[in-house]
Amino acid sequence: MSPPNSDPSDSIDPATNPAIDPSTDHAMDPAARARANARRADGSVGPLIEISVPAEGELVEPLYELFVRHGAGAAIETRLRDDVSGAPDAPETWVRTWIAADDADARTAIETGLWHLGRILPLPEATVRELAEANWAEAWKAHWTAQPVGPFLITPTWLDPESTDPDRLPLRLDPGTAFGTGQHPTTRLCLEAVAEAVAEAPNARVLDVGTGSGILAIGARLLGAREVLGVDIDPRAAETAAANAAANGVPFPTRAGSLDVVETEPPFDIVLANLLAPIVIELAPGMAARTRTGGLLIASGVLDTQVDEVTAALRTAGFGEAEVRSDGDWVAILTRKEPPGA
């Protein structure tokens, strides 16, 4: 791909996002949003472009963010069949987005972002294909199946969870609406830790920092957490989390913002932070302030090479000895807030 004629910040600066229309249903899946964008004046729907990039490790999240900002949302997909990916040996994970075929601005912005991202990290070639009006919806849904994670069955809303695993607790989610679908190792690690933590403290008050799709907070609430609050700096994610919570019959409040929007709240029993290592480090003092003494922090979005730096920052902020759980290159860190002066 040749270098595009634009500034690198154009593809990654949140300030370049269009204004959010509060009447828009941000909880719809990415392909549905792309279809809405492709609707013609006569009511018909034009073709879509699907852009897919195989990704592993630290490449997944920046790709996801790029596609969310400039596409019609994004999806992180695993266990793809070779005939879907078009590759002889399909990667374990693909990140996908959809745009209207005639949306030249969106396609240019995505190509620009991919080019600049490829200057930072090794980036496999993107696969681009056109989906005719007749097959776009099934192409979106065909990649998703119910996925067991701990005591949960993460189930796309169009599937019947009883037909797949009636012994697990269904957690219904529209994949791709925001980061966190149970497909990524960090989400799985956190969700399993949440299940254990709430089982030990069923009346816990839980704060989910960077709630994304709301999957962790929903899991906590389904297992009986007394009170759950989700916050996210992206207003769309806060809306999505609220919609997903309602779809699971466990509505809870969500707020757009960071730790500043919970400053007046009493400290929480459990704080969840599936973010990125630099953000966990930056927010460590604030998360300690919002965690009760003896309360549990579950932090992830951390690579195994970043563990020492993150745990040092958490100890400085007032957390104690850390338990580190791994899934491939990714880890979750479990640590409790120490008493003052400990």
| pLDDT of the residue at 291 | 98
**CATH 3.40.50.150 assigned to 147-337:** yes
| pLDDT of the residue at 142 | 62
DSSP assignment string, 49-109:
EEEEEE--GGGHHHHHHHHHHHSS--EEEES--HHHH-SSS--SEEEEEEEETT-HHHHHH
Question: Contact at 8 Å (CB) between 197 and 296?
Answer: yes
| pLDDT of the residue at 149 | 87
125 contacts: CB under 8 Å, gap ≥ 6: 53
Domain boundaries, the chain: 8-141, 147-337
Q: What is the pTM of this model?
A: 0.65
Q: Across the 342 residues of the chain, what is the mean pLDDT of every consecutive 10-residue run?
A: 32 29 37 52 64 84 86 68 46 79 88 88 87 56 74 80 73 64 81 95 94 93 96 88 92 94 96 94 97 97 94 98 93 96 72
C-alpha closest to that of 254 among 222, 298, 210, 304: 210
Alpha-carbon distance 113 to 157, whole Å? 31
| Identical fold, 8-141 and 147-337 | no
| pLDDT of the residue at 1 | 35
The DSSP call for residue 257 is S
The encoded tokens of residue 212 equal: 């994304």
| pLDDT of the residue at 85 | 42
192 contacts: CB under 8 Å, gap ≥ 6: 149, 150
In words, the CATH class of domain 8-141 is alpha beta
Instruction: Give Cα separations from 106 to 8, 51, 117, 328 (angstroms).
Output: 15, 11, 16, 33
